[in-house]
Amino acid sequence: MVSSPPPPVLPPDSLAAALWQASLELARVLNGSCGRQPCGRQPCGQQSHKPQSREPQLRFRDEDFLPGNAHVASRGAVKDIVFGALRRYGEGDALLSFLLRTPPPLEIRALLLCALFRLQTWSDAHTVVNQAVEAAGQWAGGRCKGLVNGVLRTFLRQREALVAALAPDSAATLWHPDWWLARLRTAWPGDWPRIVTAGNHLPPLGLRVNQRRLAAADYLARLQATGLTGELRGEAGIVLEKPVPVANLPGFAEGLVSVQDWGAQRAAELLDPPAGSRVLDACAAPGGKTAHLLERGDIDLTALDVDPQRCRLIGENLQRLGIRARVRCGDASMPHAWGRAPDAFDAILADVPCSASGVVRRHPDIKWLRRPQDIPGFARTQRRILERLWTALTPGGKFLYATCSVFPEENGEQIAKFTNRVPDARLVAEEHWLPGEQHDGFYYALLQKRI
């Protein structure tokens, strides 16, 4: 058997290299795989894959992303393509249903989705098509180059008619699954269009200034001196006019500032533990809310997370900021397992696992990986964490329940059931933060334990 020659090496800074690496990452998401390797090679005509119901899979880290001949300098271009193709997956999937007679190999399908996204957002269609064909040469000796060329050129010739044909398909035109849209319409009949619109846009870059080091207004002046502009928000927040790499933020490495969505900063402000309080931040990784609580005052804080690797992230973030906390690895729903007795804390922050439906613009794979049955599953986990952690709260203490979800089953409905079920639980405050131009979507319920 004669083996195929190795594929030609793509210039690392070329669009072809970015499209090919993006297609491999996208194929991994569509396949529901959590590995770093491309999917197995199969002949043209294999069954195509829909995204499987898994936890979000996108993890863009320099050390494990862009394998092979891709240069780390291309990382931004690849991330832009993958995120864009996933935001518009409903549209791309519908277009391919018109453009393909038989399902192509998974990597080629992913490449077509990436190229369609780029064609919709770039004016130089000729370059996009040529570079996508070059990228297809990386797969199976280039046997699908003709397919990629034909599909993309057909799209360009018939674009107006194809886009018009998508009009009855809400998943294609609104870039969200039908079941997701139905839940939003039911939960937020007057607000669902702007929630969807926010989910389809690029996210803002929010900063949290370390109040132990300087005031937010003083840091904003430093930003302006470097040519960056933004707006003050909340106690310590700044929303930049345009996102920039963290390396461009003055004083980031020295701990003057952290990246944190403005809406997420509301958690520490609401809980507001007094000096000397014993505080638990459950489900704490990567440590943004932990750090904010410590930046606001002198408290005895325990940061808890179930994932050992993410616990290390908490420690790294605290070290950069020059603050300390007790970091424990454990399950928030099993306080006895990590050594805490009843009434151990004066204040508890429970940023519980959820659908993450309020942050889909940051993690666009979420809306395609989730399934309707996942929401009741999250609600059961949230109920278990609430009930178990409540026993660790001292009488008179405060408990902040938080999610980054916009679905009522995980938010207000969960808290209403809890307060009806638990006699010593009193709802003090409740806030719904729907996704907007300057912040993501969050829900907060501040409870107090009756004495």
Name the residues annotated as catalytic.
404
Which among 33, 20, 11 is positioned nearest to 113, based on CA atoms? 20
312 with 288: CB under 8 angstroms?
Answer: no
Which among 233, 239, 229, 235 is positioned nearest to 207, based on CA atoms? 239
Alpha helices in 256-411 (DSSP H): 266-271, 288-296, 308-321, 366-369, 374-390
Provide φ and ψ at 373, rounded to 5°: -70, -10
Alpha-carbon gap, residue 224 to 226, rounded angstroms: 5
Alpha-carbon gap, residue 309 to 28, rounded angstroms: 22
Residue with token string 């507001």: 272
Alpha-carbon gap, residue 315 to 445, rounded angstroms: 27
- C-alpha of 137 from chain center: 32
Alpha-carbon gap, residue 329 to 338, rounded angstroms: 8
Q: Kind and range of the H or E element at 351?
A: strand 345-351
Spatial strand order in the sheet of 300-305: 326-329, 300-305, 278-282, 345-351, 393-403, 442-449, 425-433
